[in-house]
Structure 1
Amino acid sequence: MKTIAIKADEALWQNNMLPEGVLVRWFIADGELARAGHRVAEIRIEGALHDIVAPADGRVKIELGANCVIEPGSLLATLASTA
């Protein structure tokens, strides 16, 4: 089994002044199976909402809850993939 990190992409902050954002909500519960390319969370940076998608199929282990402050590269969840 392979573990894959789901992180807040640093590129999302490229054109923003604030060094942080907020994890608005999860679209999947802890322990559920995610599908590659499907959105699993939503983050807000300077008022703009951004979807976070699963990089592969696998079981999600949420590391940060909704309304947590995040920074570029923050670990949001891990994905246990069998691929």
Structure 2
Amino acid sequence: MPTLGGDPVRLKVAPGTSSGKVLRVKGRGVTTPKGTGDLLARIEVAVPSRLTDAQRVALDAFASSGPGEDPRRELIERARS
């Protein structure tokens, strides 16, 4: 990732990180008389709008290989209790 000082830095993004999460790079932000601030990087996950047949087959195989997770399940359970 490019920085304000010109030297790029590498960020490790954890698996499952969603769009909108903000990561902080200490000491790589704007320099002021008080010191150097932190650089904030917002994660943007790009989702392809069109898939090839091979990509669709791979995605279907991936989806069927693991347990089916419903992100709304916890919300529904809390609403019922």
Q: TM-score, normalised by structure 2?
A: 0.32
Higher helix share: 2
Higher strand share: 1
